[in-house]
């Protein structure tokens, strides 16, 4: 892996990604209406600033369709060189069912058609229930498609350490696992990190800003009522904060993070992202983009202008020691979904 200060890194000999990945969950419908024309224009602005990698899924509303439109626009404008640099990582999140080769191939073909791609840059696989062993068939069929070139890379979403190890033992070539990781939720540091470093598997991490809660906006704010949390992300991560230690401790934490941010002349959000990027197992942080509604490109790029020092880590650890252990409360990475 390249220096932490680089915006672009290699995760494979033929694959480069940006250390900040543009997350498209926000176009799924739970974060306000998205205008397609404005969204495509915003996508161009992101890639022009070096943010060349996109995270999406088959169930993120029109996300895969936006990718196709964006790719076609770049082709029509003759920007082939730029297009070749971009990476679009989608997900397959099947409902619980008996898995056949046909089901897997059909799902992959739908994503290829929707995204206008002969070969998917990456397919990230999620499974809801480990007791249903059909996930073993699913991963074998997906790996077959990878070997055929229909999928360039195979990744996972929200798999725990035990089941990631299971795939490794099967000889499945997994290049990445996408998990929740933030200053609040440090579970990947307990089990997942060691295995990923040992097996050269990259972590793509999300929830790093707590849906917007780990930002200057919520510093010195009274605890918000549920009715004031106007996005699905805010609801989700406010519940995580409650389990971690509550709003009072969270405010104490934000105050410490703010002092660190002021020291480096950056924002609370910058410190939160910098923290996860300095973990050697983490390739990229996925930051949600509200395409055509709001942009934080310039602020996000400040992440590459500084590094945290030992004094910063000592300050963060003092608060972390007061919180509850989410590994004991929730379980390993992804267990909150099972």
Q: Is the pLDDT of residue 268 over 70?
A: yes
Q: Domain residues of the chain, as ranges?
A: 8-337
Distance of alpha carbon 281 from alpha carbon 9, whole angstroms: 13
Of 72-86, 119-133, 227-241, the one with minimum mean pLDDT is: 227-241
pLDDT value for 304: 97
State pLDDT tens for residues 88-108: 999 999 998 999 999 999 999
- What share of the chain has pLDDT > 70, as a percent? 95
Strand partners of residue 21: 286
pLDDT confidence of 28, banded at 50, 70, 90? low
CATH H-level superfamily of 8-337: NADP-dependent oxidoreductase domain (3.20.20.100)
pLDDT confidence of 228, banded at 50, 70, 90? confident
Say if residues 109 and 142 touch (Cβ distance below 8 Å): no
Distance of alpha carbon 127 from alpha carbon 146, whole angstroms: 18
pLDDT value for 3: 41
Going by their DSSP bridges, the two strands 87-92 and 53-55 should be labelled as: parallel
Q: Is the pLDDT of residue 279 over 80?
A: yes
pLDDT value for 291: 67
State pLDDT tens for residues 157-167: 999 999 999 99
- What share of the chain has pLDDT > 90, as a percent? 84
């Amino acid at each position: 892996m390249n220096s932490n200060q680089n915006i672009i890194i290699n995760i494979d000999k033929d694959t480069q990604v940006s250390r900040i990945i543009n997350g498209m969950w926000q176009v799924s419908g739970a974060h306000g209406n998205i205008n397609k024309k404005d969204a495509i224009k915003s996508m161009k602005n992101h890639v022009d600033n070096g943010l060349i990698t996109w995270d999406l899924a088959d169930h993120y509303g029109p996300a895969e369709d936006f990718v196709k439109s964006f790719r076609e626009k770049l082709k029509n404008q003759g920007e082939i060189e730029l297009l070749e640099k971009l990476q679009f990582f989608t997900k397959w999140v099947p409902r619980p069912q008996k898995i056949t080769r046909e089901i897997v191939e059909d799902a992959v073909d739908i994503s290829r058609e929707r995204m206008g791609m002969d070969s998917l840059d990456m397919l990230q696989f999620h499974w809801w229930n480990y007791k249903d062993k059909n996930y073993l068939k699913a991963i074998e069929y997906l790996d077959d498609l990878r070997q055929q070139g229909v999928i360039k890379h195979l990744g996972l979403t929200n798999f725990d350490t035990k089941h990631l190890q299971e795939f490794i033992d099967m000889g499945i070539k997994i290049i990445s696992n996408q998990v929740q990781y933030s200053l609040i939720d440090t579970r990947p540091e307990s089990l997942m990190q060691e295995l990923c470093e040992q097996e050269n598997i990259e972590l793509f991490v999300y929830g790093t800003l707590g849906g917007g809660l780990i930002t200057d906006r919520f510093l010195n704010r009274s605890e918000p009522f549920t009715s004031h949390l106007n996005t699905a992300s805010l609801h989700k991560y406010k519940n995580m904060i409650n389990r971690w230690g509550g709003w009072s401790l969270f405010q104490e934490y934000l105050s410490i993070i703010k002092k660190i941010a002021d020291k480096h002349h950056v924002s609370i959000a910058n410190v939160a992202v910098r923290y996860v990027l300095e973990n050697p197992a983490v390739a990229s942080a996925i930051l949600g983009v509200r395409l055509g509604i709001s942009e934080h490109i310039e602020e996000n790029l400040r992440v590459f202008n500084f590094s945290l020092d030992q004094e910063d880590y000592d300050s963060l650890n003092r608060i972390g020691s007061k919180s509850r252990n989410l590994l004991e409360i929730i379980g390993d990475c992804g267990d909150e979904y099972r």
